Structure 1
Amino acid sequence: MLAWLDKIKQGFTWSYQGGVHPATHKQNINCGKPKTLAPPRHVVIPVQQHIGSAGKLVVEPGQRVKKGQALTQSQFFQAPPVHASLAGTIVAIEPRVSAHPSALPELSVVIEVDQQQQDCAYLKPLTEQELTPELICQRVHQAGITGMGGAGFPTALKITPNKELDVLIINGAECEPYITADDCLMRNYAEELLRGVSLLQTALQPKLTIIAVEDDKPEALKALREASDETVIVRNIPTKYPSGGEKQLIQILTGKEVGAKQLPIDMGILVHNVGTAYAIHRAVDHGEPLISRIVTLAGERLSQAANYWMSIGTSVADIIDEQAAHASEGPVIMGGSMMGFMLPSTQAPVIKTTNCLILNKPQPTVQESPCIRCGECAQACPMGLLPQQLYWFAKGDELNKAREYKIMDCIECGACAFVCPSNISLVEYYRTAKAKIKSEDQAKQEAELAKQRFDARQARLEKDKAERKAKHQEAALRRQSQAQASSEADKPDPVAAALARVKQAKQAAPAAKQTDSGEWVPDNQEAIAAREARKAQRRAKLAAEDQGPSDEAASSSSNPAVAAAIARAKAKKAQAEQEPSASETKPAGSSNPAVAAAIARAKAKKAQAEQEPSASETKPASSSNPAVAAAIARAKAKKAQAEQAAEASAAQDKAAELAEQTPKRPNSAAVSAAIAKAKAKKAEQEQSADLEPKVKPEDTPKKPKSAAVAAAIAKAKAKKAQAEQATSDEQDASESANSGSTTEAAPKKAKSAAVAAAIAKAKAKKAAEQQRQEKPLDDQ
């Protein structure tokens, strides 16, 4: 056995931090045999009077119930049932005022009590052979027994034999002022109480059992020691508040301190109240459920404070009417003066955890003062907390910081408020903050459960989807296999089909021939011939599109060279016609006289190029005299010079005429005329320079051999001129054919220079007109 158990047997006791010594107010309370109050007219039984969940209702309004009949049922130990404390008829199942500081309504069963008939519906008592841990635990649950020290924890869930137990402690300390219910029970029902302890020992099999009683209860200590045996240790402990707290009592008796998030059972220790042990005895040996309990009725408004057996569900108002003469003269406190709370309504019922009702006269209201940070509360706290900091956090709704400072470890003993010099109701602030924290935790838990349900649903849907997809694929494969099996006889062999395709491709391939080197190559002569034929057809088609309907005469010529020359001449003519037409279609395209002069110069060059072959046409090119050729060249140059001079003079006259017509801008017209004249003169000089090396008659007498060379050059020029003349003739012939007169070709050639001069004059006129139109814009 462990050493600390030996110390406990030897009588060692320990102490705990903090604690206070308030006035007990127990001297004038009668602790004799408790009396039973007369049955009230109605009892209101809440369906949940414990920590945990409520059971399922098995009754309905209008139903008659017996005393001890179950009103709710549940198979789970965390939801012990509630029973009818008195026989009668259920008149309502509705929310009624709760025995709570908030007085919030909670679902309750309202029974109209039958004053004459009080039939019972108790459970069958267990025999000695049935006293097994499992059956004892089951009977405790069926009887609806919960912790009667004030917490209300389900006893069946607490005594489930699932772990080895070292110490079983029966709490009879009852340290709070005014409360003497446990003292009265230990004095008057010691043997029954010890029978309940024995049943707990049978269910839990502890190594050591201790009954703890404060030393201010000598009569209870005496009664228990006389009724107990060697299996139970009755230990008196110092009177100090709150020695009756579970963690404080464990520390006093064993020297072990229970952690913040630790349960006593984790340390091999279990604590039960003496009232719970007595209720277990009644349930196992008599089959009586928890339908009544001893309640201390004390206070200044009572003629005699005493303890009474009270039926669960009796309203506080009925008790006051029967025992107190002045019911409306003061408040009613349920519980002790330290941990109790003031009832907002006297319609609240007595429940399983009610152990005291205090009816004092009204006291003068004490105003709270600001906290002076004296630290008295910290010294009095038995849990080693910082009540001062918790007060600020609770008052400011700083719940996270309150959590960090272990507000949930507060046992709400009220020691801090008892010693506070500022009269601050610290416990009320703590209760409010703890309620908010519990509400947040519950919301988070519900959200987490909802998320888990959602995730489970999504997983289920995905699984169903995958199963459906697998079924569809399996069905598709089955249908495909059936189709293949049905058509397998008619379907050809895929290998044979592939070989047939290869053979067909070989047959469709072109024939091959063997070269001189012995290599076999494809014979593509037919394909090449067909390709060449297609190319010839495309060329013919393109030529026909380019020539058009006007080329019929040229295409009918028997000489291919002539036809080609005619085609080239047509293309050159079309290009020449496009240039002036493009410039004429956009008369306002350029307002610069230099552009007009450039166009005139281009026209002059074109006219000179057209005049050269016509001049060579007048003289036979077959002349063999170089002097004649030189004379012809000089004549051509003179003629071209004269024509250029005529064109320049005409352009100058036209510019002067335009200047006279636009008196507002004489300078612009004069400038345009001067530019045109300069451009014409420059063109004349370029033409003279081009003709000068061709005609040099003075070289003939000086150098006979040079004359022969010149003659050869002249002959070549004559041939070239002849060819160009032929091209020009063909072009003129085509133009004459289009115009309907073939005899006008020569006059048109002669007039080409005049046409160029006319175009130059038109351009100058156009430039002057544009300048006149732009003048108003410049003046602005």
Structure 2
Amino acid sequence: MVAWLDKIKQGFTWNYQGGVHPETNKQDINCNKPELINLPKELSIPVQQHIGSAGKLLVEVGDKVLRGQALTESQFFQAPPVHASLSGEIIAIEPRVSAHASAIPELSVVIRVDEQQQDAQWPSPLSDEDLSPEAICQRVHLSGISGMGGAGFPTALKITPHKPLDVLIINGAECEPYISADDCLMQNYAAEIIGGVALLQKVLKPALTIVAVEDDKPKAIKALEVASKQDIIIRSIPTKYPSGGEKQLIQVLTGKEVKANQLPIDLGMLVQNVGTAYAVHRAVTLGEPLMSRIVTLAGDLVTSPSNYWVPIGTAVRDVISKKLQGEHNAPTIMGGSMMGFMLPSNQAPVVKTTNCLIVNNPMAAENESPCIRCGECAQACPMGLLPQQLFWYAKGDELNKARDFNIMDCIECGACAFVCPSEISLVQHYRTAKAKIRSEDLAQKEADIAKQRFDARQARLEKDKLERKAKHQQAALRRQAQAEDSAKQNKPDPVAAALARVKNKQAGSPAAKQDETGEWVPDNQAAIAAREARKAERRAKKQDDESKTSPNPAVAAAIARAKAKKQQGEESETTAVEGETSKSSNPAVAAAIARAKAKKQTDNSETLSESKPSQNPAVAAAIARAKAKKQQGKDSETTVTDGENSKSSNPAVAAAIARAKAKKAEAQQQTEPTPATNPAVAAAVARVKAKKQASQEASTDQTGDSLNKPAAKSSANPAVAAAIARAKAKKAALAESEEVNESASKTNNKDDEAFESTSTGDEAVQQNTLSDGSASASDSKAKAIAAAVAKAKAQKANIADTNSSPEKPAKKVNPAVAAAVARAKAKKLAEQQREEKDTNE
């Protein structure tokens, strides 16, 4: 260690890999004592101008602030405050354009500058007795000082004593082109810089202190040597870019290399900028906060390149407005030509890390050429990286490989892009990739924290579970021990006693009862009874309202009958049909409903009769033909049976039904001119219904006797028995409907009479078959019956064709439908004749 420090004292210097020698462009810049820029009309001071976090705002919109007044505060060194660089009124606290290549808005305090500049009450200077390391660090923090050479790391946090320091390096190696702010500061304020270095020595107590200046600044070196003390070494180093970098400067002065993921403090070294040392001196000896800094204004369009004192928060446009040659909208570069960035807007403010503004003529954008793999970038890289490989990985978003090639060690000096013959903007690709890597690292860090919280919660839940289990086990053991003790001492079990008391209490409660399992449950019978009573009351009230609102007694009676049938458990379909029949005052509707019922009963009886095998081949053949015809005419037969709401597929049948409906309507109008509201008419209707009921009962008795006898005689023949069953079903179904349609049937036209007279032959044949049981026993008579049936069907078909509508062409009559209609009409005529005969007798 002693030999190493002795080498440094003796003037030894080392070298680092890479580096370039760009043109400095500093010869025309005036480095005399800097001037104060013209006061701007408005300031925009970002509340965070450093690495770390922002402090707490102390001001509001409308407040008057003085020069040097603190705008934010914080007790932590990582959040140094910001101060008002000029006095005025706060007109806004809002996001404004930031001093960054992205121009992302940052929260800023906007101050309207007044003409009478007044200083705030600054802290009193620290005396020699008060110059303790802690007091100096606290004053540096309250003054808002952060690194003024590049990154802006909080100075108070950086100089807080950690461990013994070997070398303190003050960086005056301003190596980037155009920038001469530190050179101007060293030439004109060397004594203040040395005073700030002495204060840093008092805090850090280093073994060796070095002020490093490049050899192209002889005036600055001479000024520092005159103002320096014996324990401070002023060292001149070779001019090379980027010798001003922290790691490169350490390697040049000490020969030690700061490796990846390593800080200079790990090697016992610390680097501070000459501008930071100057600000520390002003803060400790004068109490002046950091409010302004020296900024170099240079470039091809600047009339007189020079250095100026610029208040923090001044817009770039206010700095360059009166220093350019004519009116130009050329973009401005903040920083040097190597590591600086183009400002998207000149409204961006000057901040604590702004050291140079360059305004050049806009150059035509040059297209990048493909990489020729020359390797010049690798030779120029001061960090010993492989820029060519990093370029490919960054361009292809292969972040893991870029991380493996130490892309995070890139200091973004721009040396690789400077020497690239293909004009590839390598640094831009590196910055993008590094930003993505930082984002991934942040997300991974948050995920790790979330996983730790989850694991801690799971462990806590498991621990609680085990504790509860242990408590339950201990309680069970205690209860068991108590039970054993009680058994030994003949004492009752306390748990059983408690359960018994609870059961007794529940049993004594009037609102509880015991179920089948012996458990006591709430008794809700009273509430249920009260609810049922309320329901019954509502139903009674509803019935009373309906009886009062119904003006027609017949309708009320029909409703009462429907409700009675519903309560007795009749089927919903039968109830609906009867309700409609009772409510309907149209005989045609009642007749249609009766026909539907008769058809349904007929189908059921036919199904039962057809399910039995026939012993007579002729009868079996006839049944087979009837089934085929029934299948062919299923749609049309269903339409005729359903009645009035659908149209028949057979035009002849449809025309006949239409004529019958029309004649029924005319007869209804003639016989019943007014509805049942007329008392006389209502009485007549009642008498007709009574007579109809009596005639139905009489005809049923007589017909039943006449049908039962042949049925008994002909029971030996299944076909005859089936026919008798069908006749019985159809007779019972048509009993009511035929009486209602009696008046309409008398007015049928000649076509219907002819149709009925033709169908009479079919009915006569069937009646002979039913009355003569012996005829069905022989095959000859069965064949004669079949021939008569076929003849009747043919006659019915001819009559249907004759009755077809003249407007529409007659279609082929469905034999099954025609047969069904003929049978119904024949039975109707036979029933009428039978009733007349009974009446005469």
TM-score, with normalisation over the residues of structure 1? 0.60
Alpha carbons of structure 1 residues 62 and 458: separation in structure 2 relative to 1, 3 Å? farther
Q: CA deviation at 1:54?
A: 2.1
Residue deviations 1:129-188 (CA, integer Å, cap 9, x gap):
111112211221222211111111111121111111101000001000000000000000
| Residues 488/322 of structure 1: CA separation in 2 closer, same or farther (3 Å cut) | farther
Q: Aligned residue for 1:217?
A: 217
Q: Answer yes or no: is the 8 Å Cα contact 2:175–2:240 preserved in 1.
A: yes
Is 1:6 matched up with 2:6? yes
Aligned partner of 2:29 in structure 1 is 29
Alignment-derived partner of residue 625 in structure 1 = none
Distance 1:489 1:444, change over 3 A: same
Q: Deviations over 1:355-374 (max 9, x none)?
A: 00001111232221111111
Q: Which residue of 2 aligns with 1:38?
A: 38
In structure 1, what is the Cα distance between the partners aligned to 2:112 and 2:158? Answer: 34
- Alpha-carbon distance in structure 1 between the residues aligned to 2:327 and 2:100: 20
Q: What's 2:131 paired with?
A: 131
| 1:677-696 equivalent positions in 2, closer than 5 A | none
Pairs aligned (count): 493
CA distance in 2, matches of 1:469, 1:87: 69
Q: Distance in 2 between matches of 1:492 and 1:212?
A: 95
Query: How far apart are 1:489 and its partner, in Å?
Result: 6.8
Cα shift at 1:326? 3.9
Task: Return the offset for 1:106.
Answer: 1.7
Contact 1:70/1:83 (8 A) holds in 2: yes
Partner of 1:291: 291
Deviation at 1:64, TM superposition (A): 2.5
CA distance in 2, matches of 1:149, 1:72: 23
Q: Give 1:475 shift.
A: 8.0
8 Å Cα contact 1:67/1:121 also seen in 2: no
SS at 2:222 equivalent: helix
Report the AA paired with residue 7 of structure 1: K
- The 1:118–1:451 alpha-carbon spacing in structure 2 relative to 1, beyond 3 Å, is farther
Residue 122 of structure 1, CA deviation = 2.3
Check 1:64–1:376 CA distance in 2 against 1; reply closer, same or farther (3 A cut).
same
Aligned pairs (5 A) from 1:170-249: 170-249=170-249
What's 1:145 paired with? 145
* Distance in structure 2 (CA, Å) of the matches to 1:476 and 1:41: 82
1:392-407 equivalences under 5 Å are 392-407=392-407
Shift of 1:118: 2.4
- CA offsets per residue over residues 346-393 of structure 1, 9 Å max, x none? 111111110000011112322211111111111111111111111111
| Cα displacement string for residues 89-127 of structure 1 (whole angstroms, at most 9, x for unaligned residues) | 222222211111111112222222223242324233222
Unaligned runs of 5+ in 2: 494-841
Q: Which residue pairs with 2:78 in the alignment?
A: 78
Counterpart contact for 2:166–2:207, Cα < 8 Å = yes
Question: Per-residue deviation at 1:88?
Answer: 2.2
Partner of 2:304: 304
For residues 337-486 of structure 1, what are the structure 2 equivalents within 5 Å?
337-462=337-462
- The one-letter code sitting in structure 1 at the alignment partner of 2:302 is L
Q: Tell me the distance in 1 between the aligned counterparts of 2:460 and 2:88.
A: 50
Change in 2 beyond 3 A, CA 1:473/1:392: same
* Rounded Cα–Cα distance in structure 1 between residues aligned with 2:482 and 2:126: 71
> Which moved further from structure 2: 120-129 or 269-278?
120-129
How big is each residue's C-alpha offset from its partner over 1:295-343, in whole Å with a ceiling of 9 and x where there is no partner? 1011111111111111111111111223325453311000000110110
Cα RMSD, aligned residues only: 2.3
Deviations 1:608-659 (A, max 9, x none): xxxxxxxxxxxxxxxxxxxxxxxxxxxxxxxxxxxxxxxxxxxxxxxxxxxx
**Aligned with 1:323: secondary structure?**
coil
Q: Which deviations, in whole Å up to 9, do the C-alpha atoms of 1:667-713 show, x marking residues without a partner?
A: xxxxxxxxxxxxxxxxxxxxxxxxxxxxxxxxxxxxxxxxxxxxxxx
Following superposition, the deviation at residue 483 of structure 1 comes to: 9.5
Matched, 1:107 2:107: yes
Task: Give, as a single letter, the amino acid of the residue that structure 2 aligns with 1:69.
Answer: Q
- 1:387-443 C-alpha deviation (Å, 9 max, x unpaired): 111111111111111111111111111111111111111111111111111111111
Give 3-state SS (helix, strand or coil) of 1:350's partner. coil
- Structure 2 CA distance, aligned partners of 1:66 and 1:475? 72
The Cα of 1:200 is off from its aligned counterpart by: 0.4
Match of 1:56 in 2: 56
Counterpart residue type for residue 66 of structure 1 = L
Q: Distance in 2 between matches of 1:115 and 1:446?
A: 50
Identity over the aligned pairs, expressed in percent?
A: 73
Q: Equivalent residue for 2:320?
A: 320
Indicate the SS of the match to 1:94.
strand
**1:503-545 per-position Cα deviation (integer Å, ceiling 9, x unaligned):** xxxxxxxxxxxxxxxxxxxxxxxxxxxxxxxxxxxxxxxxxxx
Conserved 8 A contact 2:81-2:141: yes
Give the aligned partner of residue 91 of structure 1. 91
What are the equivalent positions in structure 2 for 1:692-731 lying under 5 Å apart?
Answer: none
Q: How far did residue 480 of structure 1 move?
A: 8.9
Give matches, 1:585-734, under 5 Å. Answer: none
Q: State how far apart, in whole Å, the 1-side matches of 2:467 and 2:74 are.
A: 38
Q: Secondary structure at the match of 2:240?
A: coil
- Judge which range, 245-254 or 40-49, deviates more: 40-49
Decide whether aligned partners of structure 1 residues 325 and 470 sit closer, same or farther in structure 2, where only a CA change above 3 A counts.
farther
Please state how far the C-alpha of 1:286 moved relative to its aligned partner. Answer: 1.4
Distance 1:370 1:485, change over 3 A: same
Give 1:492 shift.
8.8
The change in CA–CA distance for 1:48 and 1:463 in structure 2 (over 3 A counts) is: farther
Q: 1:459 to 1:366 in 2, by over 3 A?
A: same
What is the distance in 2 between the residues matched to 1:160 and 1:486? 72
Could you tell me how far apart the structure 1 residues matched to 2:289 and 2:481 are?
A: 71
**1:275, 1:126 → 2: CA distance?**
20
1:66 paired to 2:66: yes
**Letter paired with 2:43:** V
What amino acid is the match of 1:415? A
Q: CA deviation at 1:58?
A: 2.9
Amino acid at match of 1:39: L
- CA separation of 1:473/1:253 partners in 2, compared to 1, >3 Å: closer, same or farther? same
Q: 1:149 to 1:472 in 2, by over 3 A?
A: same
CA gap 1:331/1:469 in 2 versus in 1, 3 angstroms: same
User: Are the counterparts in 1 of residues 86 and 117 from structure 2 also a CA contact under 8 Å?
Assistant: no
User: Greater CA radius of gyration, 1 or 2?
Assistant: 1
| Cα distance between partner residues in 1 of 2:462 and 2:370 | 61
**Match of 2:19, as an amino acid?**
G
Shift of 1:478: 8.4
Contact 1:329 1:361 in 2 (8 A): no
Alpha-carbon distance, 1:290 to partner: 1.5
Q: Is the alpha carbon distance of 1:403 and 1:98 closer, same or farther for their aligned partners in structure 2, counting shifts above 3 Å? A: same
CA distance in 2, matches of 1:367, 1:469: 74
Equivalence for 1:276: 276
Distance in 1 (CA, whole Å) between partners of 2:431 and 2:389 is 15
Q: Counterparts in 2 of 1:415-564, with a 5 A limit?
A: 415-462=415-462, 491=491
Query: Retained in 2: the 8 A contact 1:320–1:327?
Result: no
Q: 1:299 to 1:492 in 2, by over 3 A?
A: closer
Q: Which residue of 2 aligns with 1:266?
A: 266
CA distance in 1 between counterparts of 2:194 and 2:408 reads 34
SS in 1 for 2:78: coil
Aligned-residue offset at 1:278? 0.5
Tell me if structure 2 keeps the 8 A contact 1:95–1:106: yes
Query: Equivalent residue for 1:564?
Result: none
Q: Distance in 2 between matches of 1:174 and 1:371?
A: 31
CA contact (8 A) 1:55 1:74 kept: yes
Partner of 1:211: helix, strand, or coil? strand
Q: Decide whether aligned partners of structure 1 residues 460 and 349 sit closer, same or farther in structure 2, where only a CA change above 3 A counts.
A: farther
Partner of 1:759: none
Equivalence for 2:255: 255
* CA–CA distance in structure 2, aligned partners of residues 225 and 314 of structure 1: 34
Q: Which residue does the alignment assign to 2:164?
A: 164
CA–CA separation in structure 2 for the residues paired with 1:64 and 1:466 = 63
